[in-house]
Amino acid sequence: MKQELASIIANDEIMPGIHLMWLKSPPIAASAQPGQFVMVRCEKEYPLRRPLSIHQRDGDRLALLFTKVGKGTDWLAKRKAGAHIDILGPMGNGFSLYPTSHNLLLIAGGIGIAPLFFLAKQALNRSCSVTLLEGASTANQLYSRDLLPAEVEPIIATEDGTTGKAGMITKLIPNYINLADQVFACGPIAMYKDMALKKRELKLEGKSVQLSLEVRMGCGLGACYGCTVKTKQGLKQVCKDGPVFELNDILWDDPFNNYS
């Protein structure tokens, strides 16, 4: 893990309230893996760094994809090309792509495409076929088709029905699950709970489903226990043991002491 003042190459609002930021960060880019994240220092007054997934890597550059939800991400959205930000990473344990897997099903809810893009690129480099189910509240919150790798054809659902199937993206899982050797998901906790609850209906039983847990983090270093999650193997820290976990391993009834 390295700490670095990374220079911002570009910071564009690519969808309303959603920014794609490219950074020059040779030491972190050198070892980053899909599913890992960086801890970003957002202005000196905010002592707690914010966790953001590594969205893409291109040589010595890294991309972050983030939604403006509060003070930290609002500050980040205002940074211009040429400025520097203090980042720590790569952090955590990312996705495990098995050497025997050929067909992957990726499920992105909302900003969930953030870590899955990097995974899709890695899988395509290994000649896997990638199916992406992408869900958003409305059409203008969907990641642009033009920004996805050409080999990935997204299957879309929007909650308000403005494009694609109307409703939750999880409804489409049974139509695409049969060929999948592995399933990877990133989205809100409610999406994971739904998947866990409807495992049989969604035909997820017996499948490996790795997901990235997005919880509030204090330190990101395993020191504050602010990110503790209950699993079948006991209490785990999302920052250190995750953020990627198997769907089946989390105790979904009350994973965060009623936090979420």
Using CB under 6 A, list all residues that contact ligand FAD.
Answer: 37, 50-53, 65-67, 69-73, 111, 114, 214-217, 243
Q: Among residues 167 and 222, whose Cβ is nearest to ligand FES? A: 222
Does residue 73 bind ligand FES (CB under 6 A)? no
Candidate segments 4-12, 109-117, 118-126, 217-225, binder of ligand FES by CB under 6 A: 217-225
Label the pairing between strands 228-231 and 234-237: antiparallel
List, in sequence order, every beta strand (DSSP E) within the chain. 2-15, 18-24, 37-40, 50-53, 56-58, 61-67, 84-91, 103-109, 129-136, 154-158, 165-166, 182-186, 209-212, 228-231, 234-237, 244-246
Strand ranges across the sheet with 154-158 = 165-166, 154-158, 129-136, 103-109, 182-186, 209-212, 244-246
Q: Among residues 147 and 223, whose Cβ is nearest to ligand FES? A: 223
Map tokens 């919880």 to a residue.
215
Does residue 239 bind ligand FES (CB under 6 A)? yes
Does residue 77 bind ligand FES (CB under 6 A)? no
Q: Among residues 194 and 214, whose Cβ is nearest to ligand FES? A: 214
Q: Which amino acid is at 34?
A: P
Candidate segments 16-24, 29-37, 223-231, 243-251, binder of ligand FES by CB under 6 A: 223-231
- Cβ pair 37, 114 in contact under 8 A: no
Q: Among residues 183 and 227, whose Cβ is nearest to ligand FES? A: 227
Q: Quick one: which of 225, 246, 254, 259 contacts ligand FES (CB under 6 A)?
A: 225
Which of ligand FAD, ligand FES, none sits in contact with 241, Cβ below 5 to 8 A by type? Answer: none
Which of ligand FAD, ligand FES, none sits in contact with 184, Cβ below 5 to 8 A by type? Answer: none
Map tokens 């035909």 to a residue.
203
Does residue 81 bind ligand FES (CB under 6 A)? no
The residues, any chain, with a CB within 8 Å of residue 191's CB and separated by 6 or more, are 107, 109, 112, 135, 168, 169, 170, 185
Q: Which amino acid is at 155?
A: I
SS3 assignment, position 249: helix
Q: Among residues 103 and 260, whose Cβ is nearest to ligand FES? A: 260
Minimum CB separation of residue 50 from ligand FES in Å reads 11
